[in-house]
Structure 1
């Protein structure tokens, strides 16, 4: 018999068995480490009411600092001075310009031929001249009457002096018995008559003078009244020549050459290009916070210009209030009527407040709730919002500087208490 090789064989353990147990050990250790590391995250995940991807929401950190409360409004460039010229009386229009023409202050733009007004002016002017003649004639008559009265006073004074002399002689003669008592009494009576005539002449002079001055004042009053009538008509006649009240551009011409127009009809609109303002529409809920004199920034053609609020309308139209902003500083070139612009009006400035960047959470949460972020978890949190600006809101309570919150819309969270933020 042949011997086998059993005596030469020995049992060897398979190499794959050790490797298998090694791999199992490594995986076990790795899983244990992963559980230790991800345990809190898994706990948060399973404890959350809802899971949201981080890229779908926006975050902001609460800060403390100064805050400017402002609003953004849209508006258009308007000329602060754009007068409309009217026909002061009905007539035929003659035009010397057309729409779009550049004009200088004082330049003749149009004229209105009004025969009726010209006729009224000529008639009243004739009445004025007649009254001037009457006043002049009466002044001459006054001088004549005064002269006659003065002559009467002088004559009565001479007669009084002669009667006084005769009376004195009669007194001497009666003492010497040269004349009778009757003759003496006649001389005394003549003196008294002369004295009374002189006194009456003086009184008549004063009375006539006062009467003539009163009459002259009445005639001069009529003359002054007529002068006012003529001056008014002269002004109306002069206003039939329509002159440019300022330098600018003719915006619109409402009539054609040789048209017949009625009194007070609008004829020409002039746009003064030297002074522009911004007419803005302001939401009515901000109207009470605004006032004349507030500073503003005007964005125009990619540039910022300083402005100042100069007017706020008291009337609300479609939830909007109309305001006017004037450019501050040097005049700005290349502005156009009705050009669209945007502006930011600074309402107030607050110092050292707790604030956060503004987002949709203000409207969706009513300014009373947000989600406070802690790692991968966001918890619903009550807050109180104060002043609001375009970029920031003031936090009155519920948050402190350094807190991170969600500032995007909260509607998609459906008022869940805890949100898990997945990466």
Structure 2
């Protein structure tokens, strides 16, 4: 007897077909979910840095290194060249103003001094001879004047007498004319003698004056030469510490060559190197801070050297109050140089995120700390510790400030261990 065979509703082929279709639909849905939604990345919170945004005092500053230097340094140069004969003070010693440090010798200079002294002595001798000759000439002229005056008086007496006798018809006209001519001659002779004496006096005075001026000039030249020879002894120009002395006995030094330096130890300054990027923002009077032995000291810029070398320029800073007593020349200080006044601002800690975002966005952590998502921000000024937040964040927000290098284009970070 034939038996009717019922066809199975869920056969193996149908089950496999339905399973394949279901898997395909799930694959399509998953693909759509991951491609059309926000991309996420699981991140271990212990491997990142989460910082809290806060409001506080902000000051733009840069960290710089400075070197302690004496407040004043006086350089010792060889005013006159010569051979070092004696070294009177050792390097590092404290010296007083005027104290001899080195003694040099210069044969040519010493010979020039001897020749100058001889020339001055010759001029002095010549001037003395001129004075003596002038005196003798004056005596002779005065003796001659006495004779002329006597002859004039006698001629005048005889002329007046003969004139009276001639008027009385006692003597003839010939005798009267002879006395009159002699009187006229003596008058002219007396006038000429007086002019001669006057000219000689003027001439002697000018000659002596000229020789006196010449002698004075030679005396000045002699004094200058003696001073040059005296400069062969190198003396300390100020009180201070002798450093960098480059001189040995027997060594020859040229004129103007550096011998050493004297550091005035009455105070200190700090020589600071700064990147040329800040040259337009650094000026005299700006303040900085340095910490030494647990104590903070304020410094002020007193001089700016605008010359740039190897991308850096220098400034000199001085301590505003009493400088530290235990510093030494050449010691290095780390200084926070202020570029702006202190103001209140919203702050976010500096971190590696800035290299990838340029300060345009940041990952902000949600309230329960399970996820961080992108938010747009605007950052302003900065210092080595913080960025100034202009918009996008509020005090109390928590953000990821470590590097985003491994996050690619992720939109959200899932924070779970």
TM-score by length of 2: 0.71
Report the Cα distance in structure 2 between the residues aligned to 1:262 and 1:59, rounded to whole angstroms. Answer: 67
Q: RMSD of the alignment, in Å?
A: 4.0
- CA distance in 2 between partners of 1:293 and 1:51 (Å): 52
Larger CA deviation: 120-129 vs 159-168: 159-168
Q: CA deviation at 1:74?
A: 0.3
Q: Is the 8 A contact 1:296 1:344 kept in 2?
A: yes
Structure 1 residues 282 and 163: alpha-carbon distance in aligned structure 2, compared to 1, 3 A threshold: farther
Distance 2:132 2:339 in 1: 74
Note the C-alpha offset of 1:186.
Answer: 3.8
Find the counterpart in structure 2 of residue 381 from structure 1: 376
Map of 1:208 onto structure 2: 200
Match of 2:54 in 1: 61
* Contact persistence 1:364–1:409 (CA under 8 A): no
Q: Report if the CA contact (8 A) 1:111-1:242 is conserved.
A: yes
Tell me which residue corresponds to 1:281. 273
Q: Aligned equivalents of 1:269 and 1:185: distance in 2?
A: 95
1:139 positional shift: 2.8
- For the 8 Å contact 2:377–2:393, the answer to whether it is kept is no
Matches within 5 A, 1:178-217: 178-217=170-209
Quote how far apart the aligned CAs of 1:223 are: 2.0
Distance 1:111 1:405, change over 3 A: same
Q: What SS class does the counterpart of residue 94 from structure 1 fall into?
A: strand
2:289 is aligned with 1:297: yes
TM-score normalised by the chain length of structure 1: 0.70
> Which residue number corresponds to residue 90 of structure 2?
98
Alpha-carbon contact 1:58-1:406 (below 8 Å) kept:
yes
The correspondence for 2:127, drawn from 108, 120, 135, is 135
Equivalent of 1:263 in 254, 278, 284: 254
Distance change in 2, residues 1:340/1:149 (3 Å): same
* Superimposed CA distance per residue, residues 332-351 of structure 1 (whole angstroms, 9 cap, x where no aligned partner): 4333232111223344536x
Write out aligned runs for 1:319-338 (5 A): 319-330=311-322, 332-338=324-330
Partner of 2:303: 311
Rounded to whole Å, the distance in 2 between the matches of 1:69 and 1:236 is: 55
**What is the CA-CA distance between 1:159 and the residue it aligns to?**
4.3
- The answer as to whether partners of 1:309 and 1:326 remain within 8 angstroms in 2 is yes
Are 1:230 and 2:222 matched, yes or no?
A: yes
TM-superposed CA distance for 1:361, in Å, is 8.2
- Alignment coverage as a number of residue pairs: 372
Displacement of 1:168: 3.6
Contact 1:370 1:407 in 2 (8 A): no
Instruction: Give the 3 Å change call, closer, same or farther, for CA 222–166 of structure 1 in structure 2.
Output: same
Counterpart of 2:66 in structure 1 is 75
3-state DSSP of counterpart to 1:224:
helix
CA contact (8 A) 2:290 2:336 kept: yes
- Which residue does 1:114 correspond to in 2? 106
Distance apart, 1:160 and its partner CA: 4.2
- Give the whole-Å Cα distance in 2 for the aligned partners of 1:72 and 1:412: 27
Instruction: Report the secondary structure of 2:214's partner residue.
Output: helix
State the Cα distance separating 1:254 from its structure 2 match. 2.8
- Deviation, structure 1 residue 132: 2.1
| CA distance in 2 between partners of 1:87 and 1:208 (Å) | 48
Structure 1, unmatched stretches of 5+, are: 1-45
The SS at the match of 2:335 is: strand
Alpha-carbon distance change, 81 to 268 in structure 1, aligned in 2, over 3 angstroms: closer
Q: Is the 8 A contact 1:160 1:198 kept in 2?
A: yes
Cα distance change on mapping 1:263 and 1:419 into 2, 3 Å: same
Equivalent in the alignment of 1:344: 336
Q: 1: distance between equivalents of 2:315 and 2:61?
A: 15
CA contact (8 A) 1:305 1:327 kept: yes
Change (3 A) 1:112 1:419: same
2:364/2:400 contact within 8 Å kept: no
Which residue is 2:27 aligned to? none
Equivalent in the alignment of 1:14: none
Q: 2:92, 2:223 → 1: CA distance? A: 35
What is the alpha-carbon distance in structure 2 between the residues aligned to residue 102 and residue 369 of structure 1? 60
The whole-number CA distance in structure 2 between the counterparts of 1:214 and 1:102 is: 55
Equivalent pair of 1:81/1:275 in contact (CA under 8 Å): no
Distance, in Å, in 1 between the alignment partners of 2:225 and 2:323 is: 40
2:365 touches 2:399 (CA, 8 Å); kept in 1? no
Alpha-carbon shift at residue 316 of structure 1 (Å): 0.8
